[in-house]
Structures are given as structure tokens and as C-alpha cells.
A and B are shown apart, each in its own frame.
Chain A
């Protein structure tokens, strides 16, 4: 079969104006107002925890964009070439997200609102062997080095793609494969440590070796869901006309498969702790299975496991735009709940809640993400026109 005839405008660029821009700016302003309200009404710790949660989520989704690009390059995947500019726009947001996360973490650490281990009474709770690992200087330098490295690779991958547009040829593609391979090795080894530092050390007396992969799974599912939502909304707005239902089917399979993977990791962590039944480990789930958190604990599994399993299982559901959109949005909300369940029970305990501060900060970060991501998306054409597998992607059919 010869190549299909197509007449797409490869220099099409996203026009970031109108409702999307207004709404994202309104979101940012609401977020700032919620932060101000949080600090002024005396909920300093709660505001800091929410800022940490959302900036971590923000960084995770952006980092998942880099990871998506890198996986596609290393696997030499053809199907995704036509939508690669969306995860690349995520990747371009990563430096901004990293800076926000580092600022939130350092402010929280030095003002003693986050990371109880940095206070004199807190440091007595865990053994002295952790003292070096959890010293502020080593802690912050680790975070800066990891996030800096991810951001550098995000920059390299997006830059080579732009060079490819300008000069064509295979050299950019080969370079991208090399960068991606190095990035994946670094990312694979450092994300667990990053998760241990940022989230697990909020409860420094508890530890789980599954925790890093658990966070990685959550990050990857929420990143994939965010990519799917962005692609679908752009398609509904009339862009990305070259994507057909086979591309959506592949994204849907990704979302479906990694939701199951997340559940697998979640259950592995739960089963080991449940089976070994050691008090220093079970305390983690004990806190999460009492009072206010108990329904949320089960809701977490229902949203993040049962909903993609039951809704997305059939082939037709993955090919229908609306069912895929609904599940992806549900998963983005579900992984907020998942991060909430990681952060809040061990810190605020039964004083935690869900009110103006939480909703405002969520809206703020969603607005910030939409604003920065769409701004970077609008700067380059919507398709990498010299990508060697572009023709395969345009004719993608499964």
C-alpha cells in the first residue's frame, strides 16, 4: 500500500489566547489568594503541605512529559511522532516546576513547617544513622542536582527536536536517542530517591523500599493522563487534525496499563506491610485506616484502579474520545487524592481537611500548569515535521 494522501498544515501553531488564557490566569490568581488566605488565617503548616503536594504533583507531571519523550525515542516508536510536541511542552515546563518545588521545600524546611526531622525534637525520632542523610544541606543539594539534571535533559530533548525542524536529517534523531538513553538511566535510579526525600521523609520514622516505585507509578499515570487530556482538548479545539482514533487507542492503552501497574505497586507495598505486621511499618496504614481517612483510602483504590479497569477495558472505550477524557480526568483527580493520602495523614493527622486552601491551591497550580504548558506549546509548530517516523505516525492504524 502506498502512502495515503494527506494535506495537513505542518506549520500550524497553537494560538494561546481567549478563554484558555483567561481561565488559567484566573486560576493562578485564585491560587495566590488561597495561599494568602492560608497564611493570614494561621494555617501555615497546612498551606505549606498543600503547596508541597501540588508543586510535587506539578513537577511529576512535567517530568513524566520528559520521560514519555525519552521512552518514545529509545523504543524508536513511530506512532507517537505526530503528538510528540505535547509531552515536549510538558518537558519545557519542568525547569519552572523544579524551581517552585525547590523554593517550597527550602522555605518549608527552614521555617520548620515541613519535614519534622529538621527540628530538635523531630530528629530524635529516627535512628542516628539517618542523621547524615537527612541533613538540610545534603537533602537540598540532592534535590537540586536531580531536578537540575532532569531539566537539562528536558531542554536537550526539546532543543534537538526544534533543530530537527530547522535542518532535517537523521542526526537530531540519533542525538535524541542518545540523550534519552542517558536520561532514562539517571531518571530510573534517582526518582525513588527523589520520592523518598520529598514525600517519604515527611514521616522520617517510617520507611518503605516500594515507596519510590509507588511514586514513580503515580507520576507516570498522572503524566499520561495529563498528556491524554491535553491531546483530546486540543483536538476538540480543532488542532492536531492528523491524530486519529488509533493514536487515542494507544494513549488509552498506556493509561489503562499503567493504572494496573500503579495498583500492582500499591498492593505490593500494602501486602508486604500487612503480612510482616511489624509495628514500625503498620503505623503508616493504621493512620490511613482510621477516621476521616478511611473512606478516602478505599476511594483511592476505586478511582485509580476500578474506574480505568472497568471503563477502559474494552477496545471501543479507548477509541471514544469522551470515555477516555473522563477516565483521564478521573485519574488526575485520583492521583491528587493519592498524593494527599501520602502527605496529610502523617503530618496534619486528623486536623487535615479539604477546604478553601486545598481547592484554591489546586486551581492555582492547574492554572499555572495550563498557562506555562500552553505558552511553550504555542512557540513551536504543533508537529515535528522532520521526524523520521512522521509518515508512519500519520498513517497509524491498529
Chain B
């Protein structure tokens, strides 16, 4: 075995790539990941990608915002500095709702951005790392983990048969934009 870590098959056409996925799966070669310049319908199901847990993150962030907003305004207007506003009770729930709502949205939005950065290994100032640069332009890429013990020449042949225009044997996982 050489020092190949990942085998990348680059396709020009999404249909050919989908065909390539079928071919590989028929031969029991597990696919590490697929990179495409645009979303392709039905690809999640084909690859067996699990449903995103983003909604759970969104809910947790939102409920944190709700509790923060409500307890903050409760502390301010009921405990720390009660004020008489229009003769209403200090604990006037309808008045609390707009701020609670806004903080829910704010926490949810910030939490989503943070979750996005975290999951994609991105951060402002950090050079993004990808497995193949042209996957963001005009190539549809299938990546196969070479350490899973597949015969590289068999994988190459299958990819070529399916219509791959280029096959790369990478000895490192990521290339950087830098």
C-alpha cells in the first residue's frame, strides 16, 4: 500500500456522478463523501446521509434566548428596579413578550451561525480547507477513503467507466485555499 489516503473521482456531469455512486455501491465500495457545486435532489437518500440535527440546535438556542430574555426583564423590572408604568403591575406579562421574542430570535440566529461555522470548520480569518478545489466551481467529486482496504485500481476503473474525467490519488485529506 502506498501513502494514498483518498481517491477522488472528478465528474463533469451530475448524472454521470450519480451513476458512479450507483456503480461503487453495487461493488460494495463505501463512499466517504461527495462534493458538488450545487445541491442535487435525492443524493442524501442515495448516500444514506442522516437527517440534519440543525433543528434541535435551533430549538436549544431559541429556548435559551427565551429563558434569558424573560429572566433578564423579570430581574430588571420586578426584582431590581420596580417601576410604576401606567399603573400596571410590575410583573406585566404582555409587556415582556416582545423582548422575550426578540431574544429568542437573536439567540437562535447567532446559534445557527455558530453551528454553521463549527460544523464546516470555518471561522473568519481561517483558510477554508476542502478536499478538492474545483468542487466549488465545475466538478462533481466522489471521495473514497483509501484506507478502507479497497483495491485502488478497481476503484479507478469503476470511476472511469462511470465517466470520471479525472482521478486523483491524494496523500493528504485536505487542500487549503491558501
Which residues 144-159 of A sit at the B interface, judged by CB distance below 8 A? none
Are A1's CB and B15's CB within 8 A? yes
Are B95's CB and A275's CB within 8 A? yes
Q: Residues of A contacting B42 with CB < 8 Å?
A: 1, 397
B15 to chain A minimum Cβ distance, whole angstroms, is 6
Size class of the B contact interface (CB-based, 8 Å): 10 to 19
Interface residue A286 (Cβ < 8 Å from any Cβ of B): no
Q: Residues of B contacting A120 with CB < 8 Å?
A: none
Q: Given the known inter-chain contacts A1-B40, A397-B41, please indicate yes or no for A267 contacting B97, CB distance below 8 A.
A: yes
Between A and B, how many residue pairs show CB distances below 8 Å?
Answer: 24
Interface residue A294 (Cβ < 8 Å from any Cβ of B): no
Q: Given the known inter-chain contacts A1-B41, A397-B42, please indicate yes or no for A271 contacting B14, CB distance below 8 A.
A: no
Q: How far is the CA of A315 from the CA of B97 in the complex (A)?
A: 26
Residue of A nearest to B45 (CB): A397
Are A274's CB and B94's CB within 8 A? yes
Interface residue A254 (Cβ < 8 Å from any Cβ of B): no
Which residues 7-23 of A sit at the B interface, judged by CB distance below 8 A? none
Which residues 256-292 of A sit at the B interface, judged by CB distance below 8 A? 267, 270-271, 274-275, 277
A283-322 vs B, Cβ < 8 Å mask (1 yes, 0 no): 0000000000000000000000000000000010000000
A310 to chain B minimum Cβ distance, whole angstroms, is 13
Q: Residues of A contacting B37 with CB < 8 Å?
A: none
Q: Residues of A contacting B18 with CB < 8 Å?
A: 1
Q: Residues of B contacting A271 with CB < 8 Å?
A: 94-95, 97-98
Q: Residues of B contacting A275 with CB < 8 Å?
A: 86, 94-95
Q: How far is the CA of A270 from the CA of B93 in the complex (A)?
A: 12
Residue of B nearest to A2 (CB): B15
B86-127 vs A, Cβ < 8 Å mask (1 yes, 0 no): 111000001101100000000000000000000000000000
**23 contacting pairs across A/B (C-beta < 8 A):** A1-B14, A1-B15, A1-B18, A1-B40, A1-B41, A1-B42, A267-B94, A267-B97, A270-B94, A271-B94, A271-B95, A271-B97, A271-B98, A274-B94, A275-B86, A275-B94, A275-B95, A277-B86, A277-B87, A277-B88, A315-B55, A397-B41, A397-B42
